[in-house]
Structure 1
Amino acid sequence: MSDPKLNKPAQNWKTLLICPDSKMSTHILSLISQQVALGPIFELPTYPYRTVLTETLAGKIPHMCFVDATSDPERALATIRNLTELHPGIQIVVLLSANEPDLILRCLRQGALEFLVEPFTPEQLRQALEKLVRMRPNSGGARQGMGKVICVAPAKGACGASTVAAHLAMQFRRMGHKKLLLADLDPLTGTLAFILKLKSPYSFLDAIHRASTLDESVWKALVVNAGGVDVLLSPENPADGIQEVQDPSAIIEVSRTLYDYVVLDSAGVYGDWHLALMQLCDEILLVTTNELPALQAAQRGLSYLEHHQVPRAKVKLIVNRYAKDAGLSKELIETALHMEVFQSLPSDYEDIQKAVIEGKPAPPNSAFGKAITALAEQLLPAAAPSPEPAKKNAGLLGLFGSLFARRPTT
């Protein structure tokens, strides 16, 4: 079935309405048109295919999108998913003819932020708009008042992506950021528990199982703390519930509301689970080495992401274990992959092995530690200093202990 032909929208439109129900469309349009900030409005009378959405949104990010979820719930869910994948910061309001909690929850999981139920009223719309204003996307792509999500993914196995993810989260803590999450979302071969010497009876699978009741109190029971960073681990037995690993959106959306910055450790870019992570996050750190097999894998990974409409601008190339006297040079890597090397991390075997054995980050003054610091500073600004508390006798020892000591877990 070919895509329906659509009228070309005006250049200055701000709001998108996708509503096959003509009666519902007339009703909501009469309310939206009274909101000057929402106009002009472009209406699609059918659920558009992804190609139509891509063309419609080319070079344009609407302030808001209203989607009729009642006429065809499955098509509506697919449309919401496509919208959030094409423009992660878009604000979507679901329109319903009746209060259907299950459908509302499914829409929210796909990326919708608010819903309206007929009969629509000016007060109902006003309250929804006030809520969305507080969550309006900023210029950087992450929603204002919601956490930034960075996904670390290896181009191929054994590139050291988990080591990079763990050190990056700990470095953010050293920079003064306090609300931090490190999540091991590798369902089969997650290693953060081993790297950080952590144990927990829970994993991200429990977060998926509790998606409908996942609030702050439940979340706190699922994570463990390491050096001031909350860590969500992968399942200890990879066979447990692995068939249920399909949609990570609930984990991502809840973590955005609870943390300022989230670092995801992914096993790669391939498959529905990992691709969803790439689409939901704000930035991707693709970790490779300067060896030919890893660089070929990076090239394939970039092509795969591009084929699935993940913007190249979202991807940052990290060359781990870089050594000038071995493998390809930085210039050759950039030429081969047609993209800049965002950061190179030196080969620092002894310090990394010692850190893994001790379950703590490599020293900040080591070669690897200095490179991680440079990477973190490129990704995030330093946190604003907090008001200085009353001095305690613990002095510097207490300060360093709170920042770097690994808290024991049971």
Structure 2
Amino acid sequence: MTNVLRIALVDPNDDTRESLKGMLLSMDTVWLEADCSRYEFFPDIIEQTAPDVGVISLDNDSEKAIRLIQRLAADAPDTVLLAASESTDGHLILQTIRAGAREFLTLPMSHEDLGAALGRVSQQKFGSSEGGARGCEVIAIAGATGGVGTTSTAVNLGCIFAADNRNSVALLDLDLALGDADVFLDAIPDYTLADVVQNVSRLDIQLLKQSLTKHSSGLYLLPRPVELHDTQGITDESLRKVIGLLKATFTHLVIDLSKTYSAVDMAAIEAASKVLLVTQLDLPCLRNVVRLMMSFEEIDGLQDKVEIVVNRAGLESGQISLKKAKETLGREIYTLLPNDYRTMVEVRNNGVPLVNQAPKAAITQAMKDLASKLMGAEGTAAPTEPVKGSESKWKMFWPGSAKS
């Protein structure tokens, strides 16, 4: 599990409460357990959720807020209290600290100031090894078309990550209609993404883990819904909440996307720190890669986190050469996964990951190398600058894309 600070917030002022919530929700190493608009309800929230940090805004009624801090300091000593106010009055600050607040934060608060304060709390709680709190790496696996091996890539990467006992890893199956990550893991889940979405507002980290299916590799699976009609309740907004909770719980989150690039898929791509676009060396796949990359150009920062993974490399029949593929795409290939149809069929049919089914196979080693590269063990990724003179070779033939 990541070194996540669980936080409860009380602020009767709607504007400042929403501002603070927004900053807290944007932090990977923070999970907002609860927010409250009434001072008198906050002790019950603290008792029920036992958060690591309680953030208390003073400005609605400073006397009542200071009494609340004093009470919580006595009743919930394990919860670190942070006070926030627009006032910089020295007497108020002294009163607040004497009442039991660890720090006094000035509103309006910057993201940096809040992060620094929470960093100090995290350092005390979790220790300062390697810079304190550890964030979550979110890796989205996308496909240039169906059948290119996105699910096998997602499942096996997840199992390889989970083999390192320093990691806690979850796999989210976002192919809502036809996903089969559970088949690859020979799992029969008790709960699905639909169940978690329905109850996300009531879940905490412990309940979330109980809602996931744990594989023998250590990988936690959150599968797609069983019934097709259950997919209707899964929206981009509800998915963002689920991903936020998963990021607060695990060090690595692998997301197997659908091939529809719906609003739900794009919400996952937006949350990802790296997007692997899996393709093969054939004309339809490469054509789709170009089309997708052109669309990704319209979203700020997205192209920079997309890497192209060529699967089934070495399949001689009908494949385009790697050199020609690079020229067509105008960028480097992040990694190659060799063709090993027989092994992959056995893995899928037996429901056993590559590291267990075929630990010495070339495809297994390639997956391990990809995992190491994603975790930074091999340094920076291959350069993605356009190949000289090739950028427009395909675009000039794409309907509506030619530019004067």
Identify whether the pair has TM-score above 0.5, normalized to the shorter chain. Answer: yes
The one of 342, 348, 368 equivalent to 1:356 is: 348
- In 2: Cα distance, 1:189 partner to 1:279 partner: 22
- In 2: Cα distance, 1:231 partner to 1:351 partner: 23
What is the match of residue 161 of structure 1? 150
What is the match of residue 343 of structure 1? 335
Q: After the TM superposition, which residues 1-80 of structure 1 pair with which residues of structure 2 at under 5 Å, given as runs?
A: 70=15
Match of 2:275, SS state, is strand
- In 2: Cα distance, 1:329 partner to 1:170 partner: 31
Structure 2 residue identity aligned to 1:340: E
CA contact (8 A) 1:283 1:315 kept: yes
Would the alpha carbon gap of residues 205 and 135 (structure 1) be closer, same or farther in structure 2, given more than 3 Å must change? farther
1:366 maps to 2:355: no
Structure 2 residue identity aligned to 1:308: I
TM-score by length of 2: 0.63
- In 2: Cα distance, 1:72 partner to 1:210 partner: 23
CA shift for structure 1 position 349: 0.6
Identity %: 22
- In 1: Cα distance, 2:54 partner to 2:314 partner: 50
- In 1: Cα distance, 2:348 partner to 2:295 partner: 32
Would the alpha carbon gap of residues 151 and 219 (structure 1) be closer, same or farther in structure 2, given more than 3 Å must change? same
- In 2: Cα distance, 1:243 partner to 1:228 partner: 29
- In 1: Cα distance, 2:121 partner to 2:292 partner: 36
Structure 2 residue identity aligned to 1:185: L
1:185 maps to 2:166: no
Would the alpha carbon gap of residues 89 and 253 (structure 1) be closer, same or farther in structure 2, given more than 3 Å must change? closer
1:234 maps to 2:224: yes
4+ aligned runs moved over 3 Å, structure 1 = 88-91, 96-101, 113-118, 126-129, 132-136, 174-178
- In 2: Cα distance, 1:291 partner to 1:159 partner: 11
CA contact (8 A) 1:181 1:231 kept: yes
Would the alpha carbon gap of residues 286 and 335 (structure 1) be closer, same or farther in structure 2, given more than 3 Å must change? same
- In 2: Cα distance, 1:333 partner to 1:99 partner: 60
CA contact (8 A) 1:135 1:144 kept: yes
Q: After the TM superposition, which residues 8-407 of structure 1 pair with which residues of structure 2 at under 5 Å, given as runs?
A: 70=15, 117=57, 119=59, 120-121=84-85, 123-125=103-105, 128=114, 129-131=116-118, 144-226=133-215, 227-247=217-237, 248-268=239-259, 270-323=261-314, 325=316, 326-362=318-354, 363-380=358-375
Structure 1 residue identity aligned to 2:118: K
Would the alpha carbon gap of residues 150 and 135 (structure 1) be closer, same or farther in structure 2, given more than 3 Å must change? farther
CA shift for structure 1 position 345: 0.7
Instruction: Kindly name which structure, 1 or 2, has the bigger radius of gyration based on alpha carbons.
Output: 2
Would the alpha carbon gap of residues 263 and 133 (structure 1) be closer, same or farther in structure 2, given more than 3 Å must change? farther
Match of 1:209, SS state, is helix
CA shift for structure 1 position 174: 3.2
- In 2: Cα distance, 1:90 partner to 1:312 partner: 25
TM-score by length of 1: 0.62
Matched residues, number: 290
| Between 231-240 and 159-168, the greater mean CA deviation after superposition | 231-240
CA shift for structure 1 position 70: 2.6
RMSD, matched Cα: 3.7
Would the alpha carbon gap of residues 134 and 182 (structure 1) be closer, same or farther in structure 2, given more than 3 Å must change? farther
- In 2: Cα distance, 1:117 partner to 1:195 partner: 49
CA contact (8 A) 1:148 1:260 kept: yes
Q: Unaligned regions of 5+ residues in structure 2, if any?
A: 1-12, 42-52, 60-83, 86-92, 94-102, 107-112, 124-131, 378-404
Would the alpha carbon gap of residues 135 and 285 (structure 1) be closer, same or farther in structure 2, given more than 3 Å must change? farther
